[in-house]
Amino acid sequence: MPPTAPDAAGFRGVIALELRDGAPPAQAALDAAGAGDVAERLGRDLAKLVPEVAACELALLGAHFDPAEALRPGWPLHRRALELLQRAPGRAQGARIVGFGADAQGAVPLPLQADPALAGGVLRVLPFVLRGEAAEGAGAALEALLLDRGMAAADTALALQDGLGATLEHARYLSLHDLLAIMAMQYRNVGLDGLWSLLETALLDPAGTCLLDAPPEPLARYADGEVRIALLDPAAWRRRNLPDETDGARLERGFALFQARQRQYAAVLGAHAIDVNFVHCGDGDSACLH
């Protein structure tokens, strides 16, 4: 299910950069001129796919982020892009294309600062939004096209590569929904299906609930904007996971792995800015999480 748009953003997307050999870009953000240039090229590339884009306003954040920073409740990076666009001059002059980058001294302003703890991944994203009367229709058309046909033009990719000091394998355009689908597949490929169910609910149905009660995975529940994870003592964990096991060494190893899995869940959810609370659960029953 695609992300909904409760505000004036008709379409949320990203420029996704696949870094060659995982080498990080030398620059945290494009400079102001470079951000404006890439925004113009982005608008041109999208309008070639969907001509209605030319009637939309477009705002690009010229800094690169980890995908987890774009996939947070309320879509904060895209909200920042929209807020900056709304404050930018020239609203009476028709559809604007605006790129936001580093200042004249090369400093990256706070709205464009990525989380340094999430640096180092092979995929980085630059968020953009479309707004205006044509944005909803243009966004629906882009949603259907970008995953298959959203490769950035060669000159756009080169401008990104030069401006960020990066070596790129690919530069492509994705909708926020496309990015969600790609991350879901990646999490499932590394055995984090259960975690994704919690994360998906937090992102797409924040008022909803989701219970993960599938041993040997952690016992966890999303509700009210947070994930509660049950803290089990060794006896409760054994009753829940290996009730017939008598090998003490195997039980000890299994419990240590279970605790590591809980920490992994908490770390991934934290990267997506979802609050995590550990709740003591002596009997191993999910009722403790309510």
Instruction: Give the closest residue to 271 by CA, choosing from 137, 160, 118.
Output: 118
The beta strand positions in 188-290, using DSSP E, are 210-212, 220-223, 226-231, 275-280
Residue 23 Cα distances to 32, 101, 104, angstroms: 23, 21, 26
Mean pLDDT of 258-279: 96
Q: Report CA 150 to chain centroid distance, whole Å.
A: 18
pTM for the model stands at: 0.91
Residue 188 has pLDDT above 70, yes or no: yes
Residue 61's contacts (CB-CB under 8 Å, 6 or more residues apart) are 77, 80, 81, 84, 100, 111, 112, 126, 127, 128
Express as a percent the part of the chain with pLDDT over 70.
Answer: 96
Residue 2 has pLDDT above 70, yes or no: no
Banded pLDDT at 104 (limits 50, 70, 90): confident
The pLDDT value recorded for residue 8 is 61
C-alpha span between 181 and 202 (Å, rounded): 15
Banded pLDDT at 114 (limits 50, 70, 90): very high
The pLDDT value recorded for residue 95 is 83
Mean pLDDT of 96-116: 90
The pLDDT value recorded for residue 111 is 85
Banded pLDDT at 245 (limits 50, 70, 90): confident
> Residue with structure tokens 């340094």?
116
Residue 7 has pLDDT above 70, yes or no: no
Exposure on the CB side of residue 153, measured as CA atoms within 13 A: 15
What is the per-residue pLDDT across 32-51, written as a single tens digit (0 to 9) for each?
999 999 999 999 999 999 99
Mean pLDDT of 189-209: 95
Report the phi/psi class of residue 90: left, alpha or beta, with left for phi > 0 and alpha for psi in -120 to 50: left
DSSP 84-95: HHHHSS-GGGSS
What is the per-residue pLDDT across 140-164, written as a single tens digit (0 to 9) for each?
999 999 999 999 999 999 999 999 9
Asked if residues 1 and 151 have their Cβ atoms less than 8 Å apart, the reply is: no
C-alpha span between 253 and 260 (Å, rounded): 11
